Amino acid sequence: MTREQIEQDLINSLDYLTSNNGRMFKGSLSKVSSKLKTEIEFDIFHVEGLSYGLLRDALTRIGEVVEDREAKSEIIARVGAGFADLNIALLVISITGEFISVASYAKEGLINQHTAKKAINNLKNSLTGKYLNN
């Protein structure tokens, strides 16, 4: 995904979250969303015995897989995070051997909810125990 595609996906996700009875408020929401700052967080962590398929399953439990690039061992997923998991973050995840690298992108308003960082923590929490030893 390009930077522009990531930005557009985050804007679309915020627009979807503000829908009312299936009808979207058209017009200003996309403009406001596009002006919000995009927070970016990166992390690399060690996992044991985690295959690509198990990682994909963990992501479907906490969010929605947007792109599945098994040939490159990469997954792009949309995950709820921030206050009460009501904001959306986009995770770009690569698994190489026993290491996972994650780039997390999220829109932030006036009050920073640290959505991108919380999305990475949500992923880690879904892997804690059997695959990830903190």
Cβ neighbours of residue 80 closer than 8 Å, sequence gap 6 or more: 62, 63, 86, 87, 88, 89, 119, 122
Per-residue pLDDT tens digits for 100-129: 999 999 888 777 788 899 999 999 988 877
Q: What is the DSSP letter of 91?
A: E
What's residue 36's pLDDT? 76
Question: Considering the entire predicted model, what is its pTM?
Answer: 0.77
* 16-44 pLDDT per residue, tens: 655 554 555 555 555 566 667 788 899 99
Tens-digit pLDDT profile for residues 54-99? 899 989 999 999 999 988 999 999 998 877 777 889 999 999 988 9
